[in-house]
């Protein structure tokens, strides 16, 4: 211990303190500060980059699920559209059919009516012709029957007899 104390050099201690403190202050200003700052900055930038990558990933995932959803919706819409188109087609067809049927019915009934009319007209004409033919025949028969005067008188008498005047 005594040797240690006698060995102790105040000059060396003085210079050591001066040099070390000077070095400490200089390095703090010109080396450690900038170094640690740079390292910290780098670390935060790495952290930020990782975080933004993560964010991008989740965004991508979101986008993907969005896409999926949109696709699904589109598919559903397509199906709905198809269904609707089908039903419209069916409707259209049935409507057309119905219309055609009614039209046909109408035409048919018109035709029947026309036929009826024609028939009636024909019957009437036939009746007239039959009438006139009968009249002609009757005329000819009467002309032949009433050629003589006694025959006429006989008939008048008979008619008078028949028509019992009271």
List contacts with another protein (CB under 8 A).
4, 6-17, 19-24, 26-28, 30-36, 38-39, 41-42, 45
Q: Provide the minimum distance between the beta carbon of 65 and another protein in the complex, in angstroms, as a whole number.
A: 37
> What secondary structure does DSSP assign to 69-126, as a single string?
HHHHHHHHHHHHHHHHHHHHHHHHHHHHHHHHHHHHHHHHHHHHHHHHHHHHHHHHHH
To another protein, the closest distance from the beta carbon of 18 in angstroms equals 9
Q: Which is nearer to another protein, 45 or 109 (CB)?
A: 45
Nearer to another protein, 23 or 70 (CB): 23
Q: How far is the CB of 66 from another protein (least distance, A)?
A: 37
Query: Which positions ≥6 away from 152 have C-beta within 8 Å?
Result: 146
Closest distance of CB 52 from another protein, Å = 17
Nearer to another protein, 31 or 71 (CB): 31
Please identify, using beta-carbon distances, which residue of 26 and 104 lies nearer to another protein: 26
- The token duo for 135 is 């009249």
Determine which helix (DSSP H) or strand (DSSP E) holds 163, and give its type and residue range.
Answer: none
**Coil vs helix vs strand at 165:** coil
């Amino acid at each position: 211990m005594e040797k240690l104390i006698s060995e102790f050099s105040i000059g060396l201690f003085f210079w050591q303190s001066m040099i070390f403190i000077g070095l400490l202050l200089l390095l703090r200003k010109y080396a450690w500060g900038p170094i640690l700052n740079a390292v910290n900055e780098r670390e935060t930038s790495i952290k930020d980059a990782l975080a933004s990558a993560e964010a991008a990933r989740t965004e991508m995932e979101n986008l993907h699920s969005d896409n999926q959803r949109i696709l699904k919706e589109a598919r559903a819409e397509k199906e709905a559209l198809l269904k609707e188109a089908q039903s419209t087609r069916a409707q259209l067809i049935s409507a057309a059919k119905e219309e055609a049927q009614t039209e046909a019915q109408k035409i048919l009934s018109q035709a029947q009516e026309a036929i009826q009319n024609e028939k009636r007209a024909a019957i009437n004409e036939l009746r007239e012709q039959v009438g006139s033919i009968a009249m002609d025949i009757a005329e000819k028969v009467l002309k032949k029957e009433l050629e003589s005067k006694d025959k006429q008188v006989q008939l008048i008498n008979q008619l008078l007899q028949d028509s019992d005047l009271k």
